[in-house]
Amino acid sequence: MKFIVSSSILLKSLQKISGVISSNTVLPILEDFLFQIEDGKLKVFATDLETSMSTELSVEAKENFKIAIPARILTDILKTLPEQPVSISIDEVSFGIEITSDNGKYKLAGENGDDFPKMPSEQDATEVTIPADVLANAVNKTLFAVSSDELRPAMTGMLWQFNEDGLVFVSTDAHKLVRYERKDIKGGNGNSIIVPKKALNLLKSTLPHTDTPVKVAYDSSNAFIYFENSYLVCRLIDARYPDYNAVIPTENPNLLLINKDDFFSSMRRIAIFANKTTHQVVLKMAGTELSVSAQDLDFSNEASEKLVCEYKGNDLEIGFNAKFLLEMLSSLDGDEVKLELSTATRAGILRPAESDANEDLLMLVMPVMINN
């Protein structure tokens, strides 16, 4: 049994799904790709039992078969080969694999494809169709706020809400929160799911930034995401997501409007001088001037800058974690950003100054106590 395929096309397909494979697997076969050939189509699968992904490409093959091939050694050899057709032959008794290129032969040991774990199948799934660029945008803008705290399992994923008036994507780690809403896509039934971080990272790296339709199906246990020639399945986080609306302040009389790039550049410079534990920077707003400052008393480091801004409200001094603000600013589009504030002890809300009528992006950051 054998098939012929372009080395670069195969490598690109394998790299798309290789992020699924865990470095410390329980079962040795989970370190493999499953190759399954049917009617001249090659489907490649990878799984860690929690998350699975497959992709499909055309090959030259006369027989249908499946084989588990060690992932690392296969991708390593393909990375070193120039673009060319490669022939991959399989011994159906010993599961030995021979890869033949223009100027070499490479042999490795495979495993019986029948022993590879099966991907979950849909059970009474609900379906929603989302344009790929919308889903990619939602993931890119919210992923950084997903928590890594395993003691709060709900926060280690992103909440996807499917409402009659649109879709809502939320992530939080209790220090920062991001809510991204789309009003132009109707989700329907008011259901919600929590998608784990690993699946989100895979989507971030593989979703096309086009209006290609993405089918999202979900049941009580899994989400099934189909796009182009790829298919991702992930086990959902079974936990209750915190009531994020309760922590978003609604009365924010103090409004700062400032150029995003100027603010970002200033924050990057000032953060260098902040305490390496708290990363605290202090924003002081008065009239048309914003003062950004930081100090590290342990090393006698301090810095301050003044920026031109538009500010409406009472004079205010508030501390934030510089790392959080920088993450948020780098995820915002547009030339200007708005910072909505109430008091020095309540959360600040960061938004783009201008946005599409069909989308609403809100980023909330908790303040830190100012060290005098």
Residues with Cβ within 8 Å of 291's Cβ and at least 6 positions away in sequence, in order, are 282, 283, 284, 285, 304, 305, 306, 307
To 5 degrees, how large is the angle CA 78–CA 83–CA 87? 65
Just give the CATH number of 2-115: 3.10.150.10
CATH code of the domain occupying 126-246: 3.10.150.10
Listed in sequence order, the residues at least 6 apart from 25 whose beta carbon sits closer than 8 Å to its beta carbon are 31, 48
How far is residue 359's CA from residue 289's CA, in Å, rounded to a whole number?
30
Check: CB of residue 112 under 8 Å from CB of residue 95: yes
The pLDDT value given to residue 372: 58
pTM of the model: 0.92
Could you list the beta-strand ranges (E) of 164-314.
166-172, 176-182, 191-196, 213-218, 222-227, 230-235, 254-259, 280-286, 289-296, 301-308, 310-312
Type and span of the H or E element at 18: none
- Backbone region of residue 278 per phi and psi (left: phi > 0; alpha: psi in -120 to 50; beta: other values): alpha
Q: Are 247 and 177 in contact (CB under 8 A)?
A: yes
Characterise 112 by phi-psi region: left (phi > 0), alpha (psi -120 to 50), beta (else). beta
pLDDT more than 70, % of the chain: 99
C-alpha dist (Å) from residue 249 to 173, 309, 348, 366? 17, 23, 8, 11
Q: Give the residues across from 69 on adjacent strands.
A: 33
Q: Using DSSP, state whether 128 is helix, strand or coil.
A: strand
Predicted pLDDT at 214: 96
Tens-level pLDDT at each residue, the chain (372 residues): 899 999 999 999 999 999 999 988 889 999 999 999 999 999 999 999 999 999 999 999 999 999 999 999 999 999 999 999 999 999 989 999 999 999 899 999 999 999 999 999 988 899 999 999 999 999 999 999 999 999 999 999 999 999 988 999 999 999 999 999 999 888 778 899 999 999 999 999 999 989 999 999 999 999 999 999 999 999 999 999 999 999 999 999 999 999 999 999 999 999 999 999 999 999 999 989 999 999 998 899 999 999 999 999 999 999 999 999 999 999 999 999 999 999 999 999 999 998 888 899 999 999 998 865
Token reading at 294: 């930081």
C-beta separation of 20 from 7 below 8 A? no
What pLDDT, on the 0 to 100 scale, is given for residue 371? 66
What was the pLDDT predicted at 26? 82
Q: Give the pLDDT of residue 187.
A: 73
Per-residue pLDDT reduced to its tens digit, 290-318: 999 999 988 999 999 999 999 999 999 99
Task: In the chain, list all ranges with CATH 3.10.150.10.
Answer: 2-115, 126-246, 249-365
pLDDT at residue number 103: 87
- The CATH number of the structural domain formed by 249-365 is 3.10.150.10
Give the count of beta carbons closer than 10 Å to the beta carbon of residue 198: 17
Beta bridge partners of 162: 167, 191
pLDDT value at residue 14 = 97
Handedness of CA 202, 60, 113, 71 (dihedral sign): negative
| pLDDT of res. 141 | 95
3 state DSSP class of 195: strand
- Residue 12: enclosing H or E segment and its boundaries? helix 7-17
Return the bridge partners of 280, or none: 321
Q: Which pair of structure tokens corresponds to residue 334?
A: 């547009």
Cβ pair 207, 232 in contact under 8 A: no
CA distance 192 to 203: 18
3-state DSSP assignment of residue 46 = strand
